A = this chain, B = another copy of it.
Amino acid sequence: MSERFTYDIYNDCCPAREVLGRLADKWALLILDRLEQGPVRFNSLRRDIQGISQKMLTQSLRRLERDGLVHREVQPTVPVTVEYSLTRLGQTLTETVTVLTHWAEHNMNAIIAAQTAYDEAQQA
């Protein structure tokens, strides 16, 4: 019966595809990974995740919030500050995402080596 789930994802109209599509967003992955370390404010996130534009950060956060993965809390300070944190659902996801990012960090050398080998083989 777990097989039933395994195959669903290949279907074009499957909502799980939609969900996967969310994860297939490098910014989302990085944001989730960052949020796992604790609540962060908008500009802090912006600084931490180098290279992300303000537009993309806002967009990704909104999407993550809409998906129920991230919680957005407005603090009534002056000027206003907004704190982002993981929801319970988001936490269950980041556990997996973290494994993924760690995999990326630990295996990047192997990948770079593979790329070099591939490119050289292609040359000849």
Tell me whether A24 and B29 are in contact (CB under 8 A): yes
Tell me whether A23 and B104 are in contact (CB under 8 A): yes
Shortest beta-carbon distance from A102 to chain B in Å: 7
When all copies of this chain in the complex are counted, the total is: 2
A107 to B105, CA, bound (A): 27
A104 to B97, CA, bound (A): 12
Task: Indicate the size class of the contact surface on chain A.
Answer: 35 or more
For residue A114, which residue of chain B has the nearest CB?
B68
Name A's B-contacting residues (CB within 8 A).
2, 5-6, 8-12, 15-21, 23-26, 29-30, 33-34, 37, 48-51, 65-69, 89, 92-93, 96-97, 99-108, 110-115, 117-119
